[in-house]
Structure 1
Amino acid sequence: MRLTEVTYDNAQPIDSYGPGFFRVAGQVLHGAVLVTPWDAGPWGGLDDTAGPLALVGRIDVLFVGMGTEIAHVPVAFRSALEAAGIGVEVMNSPAAARTYNVLLSEGRRIAAALLPVS
Structure 2
Amino acid sequence: MKLHLTQAAGQQLITGYGADWIEVNRIRFTHSLLVQPVQVHEDWQTRDFNSLSAADFERIAALKPELVLLGTGAQHRFIHPKLTQSLTAAGISVECMATPAACRTYNILMAEGRDVIAALLLS
Band the TM-score falls in, shorter-chain normalisation: 0.7 to 0.9
TM-score, with length taken from structure 1: 0.84
Which residue of structure 2 aligns with residue 63 of structure 1? 69
Unaligned runs of 5+ in 1: none
Is residue 31 from structure 1 mapped to residue 62 from structure 2 by the alignment? no
Which residue of structure 2 aligns with residue 97 of structure 1? 103
RMSD: 1.5
Q: Distance in 2 between matches of 1:76 and 1:19?
A: 28
Corresponding residue SS for 1:108: coil
Between 1:106-115 and 1:74-83, the stretch displaced more is: 74-83
TM-score, with length taken from structure 2: 0.81
The number of aligned residues is 111
Cα contact 1:6–1:105 (8 A) shared by 2: no
Cα contact 1:43–1:51 (8 A) shared by 2: no
Unaligned runs of 5+ in 2: 47-51
Which residue of structure 2 aligns with residue 43 of structure 1? 44
Give the drift of 1:19. Answer: 2.5
Between 1:23-32 and 1:101-110, the stretch displaced more is: 23-32
Cα contact 1:35–1:111 (8 A) shared by 2: yes
Q: Percent identity?
A: 34
